[in-house]
Amino acid sequence: MRRKRAGVILTGVGIVLILAALALTGYNMWDGRRAAKEVNSVLDQFVQKQEALKPDESMAEKETDPQEDNAPVPDMPVITVGGWQYIGILRIPALELELPIMDSWSYPQMKTAPCRYAGSVYQNNLILCAHNYAAHFGRLDDLQVGDQILFTDVNGNVFQYQVQEIQTLSGTAIEEMKSGGWPLTLFTCNFSGQARITVRCEIRQE
């Protein structure tokens, strides 16, 4: 009798776990589709505002030329969409991705679009982070060394990079993430959330 009762309990627990797994899978699929729609909407609005931007509204043009001796390096100009500030568009042709990039990061912001984690494109130390949605950075580990990546800032300046190295770093390796002097770094968490898929990029040589 006890064995029968234990078997019923174990069966019930198994069913609950299966239903929970199905619910989680369903939520992740829904959230991924939501993220794709949202990022496309932001991208359309960003491009429209970028095209309408007048030359005298360019923040970068109001700054001192960073090439001049002792000149401060300008921060990245932004365009505001939906109350959030964006610094440009990232294109990854190998993954058929075109993504608006937020000026700063937080977990709520990353639900909408990839974000700047640290650095600046003008200082050759830009680090970008995103959730592992397929529509964001979920396919970073499909990239190959030599793949092209492009970043276009608010003023239309295009910065070209190529993938040099793909690493897996611990989720707590913050200093290691920022080190190495890479011009561009992209990262996202793996599916367990315990590690970071990290793509290091060099400036593309013509």
Look up the CATH number of domain 2-203. Answer: 2.40.260.10
Residue 22: predicted pLDDT: 46
3-class DSSP state of 114: coil
Of 157, 152, 140, 154, give the one whose Cα is nearest residue 200: 140
Mean pLDDT (the chain, rounded) = 82
Name the band, by pLDDT with cuts 50, 70 and 90, for residue 66. very low
Tokens at residue 139, please? Answer: 């396919």
Please write the tens of the pLDDT for every residue from 181-201: 999 999 999 877 789 999 999
* Cα 104 from Cα 116, distance rounded (Å): 5
pLDDT category, 63, cuts 50, 70, 90? very low
Share of the chain above pLDDT 70, in %: 74
| 75-125 tens-digit pLDDT | 899 999 999 999 999 999 999 999 999 999 998 899 999 999 999 999 999
Q: Which whole number is the average pLDDT over 118-137?
A: 94
Give pLDDT, residue 75. Answer: 86
Domain spans of the chain? 2-203
Inter-residue contact 92 to 143 (CB < 8 Å): yes
- pLDDT grade for 145, boundaries at 50, 70 and 90: very high
Pick the closest to residue 105 from 74, 68, 130, 139 (CA basis): 130
DSSP-derived secondary structure for 144-181: -TT-EEEEEETT--EEEEEEEEEEEEETT-HHHHH-S-
pLDDT greater than 80 at residue 74 = no
More confident residue, 43 or 100: 100
pLDDT, residue 141, reads: 92
Instruction: Provide the strand spans (E) within the chain.
Output: 79-81, 84-92, 97-102, 115-118, 126-129, 148-153, 158-170, 184-189, 195-203
**Reported pTM:** 0.76
The pLDDT assigned to 67 comes to: 42
- Phi and psi at 125, nearest 5°, equal -150, 35
